[in-house]
C-alpha cells in the first residue's frame, strides 16, 4: 500500500487554465496529460465555466467538498452533484460546463484512457473490509479515517495492488478500482 499525502501535492493550472488541480497519481508515472493510461486528481472549482477537454478519455467526477454544482455534458441530461451524490461518469471529449450552487467546490476527478482502462468509483462508509480485485485500487479519505491501521487525513489517498485486503475504519472514503 502506497500512501499519497495531500500535503505533498503541488497545485497546477487546469489544462484550459480555468482553475487549479492537484495530481494525486498518474500511470505511467511519467506520462503527460495527453498520454496517461489513468490519472487521479483533485480540483478546486471556484467559478462556473467550461471543463477541459480530454480526447479519448472517460472521466468520473465526485464532489468531495462544497454545496455542489450543475454539470451540463454534451449529449447527456444535466446532473446535480454534491458531496452526497454518487460519482458521475462522462466522456472527456464531450463539451462540458458547470454552474456552482453556492460557492466553490472540490472534486475528485478520475480519468482513464478509453479502450486501455476501465474504472469503477463509489463512495464508501466505514467500518468496511474488502479485498482489492482490480489491477489498481485507490482509496481517498473524504474525512480522517484509518486504513489498515494507517491514519489518513482528509484527502490523503492510498494506492493498493490486486489481492491486498483492506480494512477501513469509521469514516467516509471514495473507492476507485482501475483495470486494464
CA distance 124 to 65: 15
pLDDT at 37 over 90: yes
What is the share, in percent, of the chain residues with pLDDT greater than 90?
A: 93
**DSSP state, residue 135:** S
**Residue 95 C-alpha from the chain's centroid:** 19
Where in the chain are all domains bearing CATH 2.60.120.10? 9-113, 118-179
Cβ atoms within 10 Å of 47's Cβ, excluding its own: 11
pLDDT reading at 143 higher than 90: yes
pLDDT at 110: 98
Across the range 8-36, mean pLDDT stands at: 91
What's the CATH code, domain 118-179? 2.60.120.10
- Other Cβ atoms within 10 Å of 117 Cβ, number: 21
Domain covering 9-113 assigned CATH 2.60.120.10 in the classification: yes
Residue count of the chain, please give it: 180
pLDDT tens digits, one per residue of 86-133:
999 999 999 999 999 999 999 999 999 999 999 999 999 999 999 999
| pLDDT of 18 above 80 | no
pLDDT at 14: 83
**DSSP helix/strand/coil, 38:** strand
Amino acid at each position: 500500500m502506497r500512501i499519497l499525502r495531500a500535503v505533498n501535492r503541488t497545485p497546477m493550472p487546469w489544462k484550459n487554465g480555468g482553475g487549479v488541480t492537484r495530481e494525486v497519481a498518474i500511470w505511467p508515472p511519467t506520462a503527460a496529460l495527453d498520454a496517461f493510461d489513468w490519472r487521479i486528481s483533485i480540483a478546486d472549482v471556484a467559478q462556473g465555466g467550461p471543463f477541459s477537454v480530454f480526447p479519448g478519455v472517460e472521466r468520473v467526477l465526485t464532489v468531495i467538498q462544497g454545496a455542489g454544482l450543475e454539470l451540463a455534458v454534451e449529449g447527456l441530461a444535466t446532473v446535480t452533484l454534491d458531496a452526497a451524490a454518487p460519482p458521475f461518469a462522462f466522456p472527456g471529449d464531450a463539451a462540458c460546463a458547470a454552474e456552482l450552487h453556492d460557492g466553490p467546490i472540490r472534486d475528485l476527478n478520475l480519468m482513464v484512457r478509453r479502450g486501455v482502462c476501465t474504472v469503477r468509483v463509489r463512495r464508501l462508509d466505514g467500518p468496511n473490509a474488502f479485498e482489492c480485485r482490480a489491477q489498481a485500487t485507490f482509496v481517498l479519505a473524504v474525512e480522517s479515517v484509518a486504513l489498515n491501521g494507517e491514519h489518513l487525513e482528509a484527502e490523503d489517498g492510498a494506492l493498493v495492488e490486486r489481492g491486498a485486503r483492506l480494512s477501513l475504519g469509521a469514516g467516509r472514503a471514495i473507492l476507485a478500482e482501475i483495470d486494464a
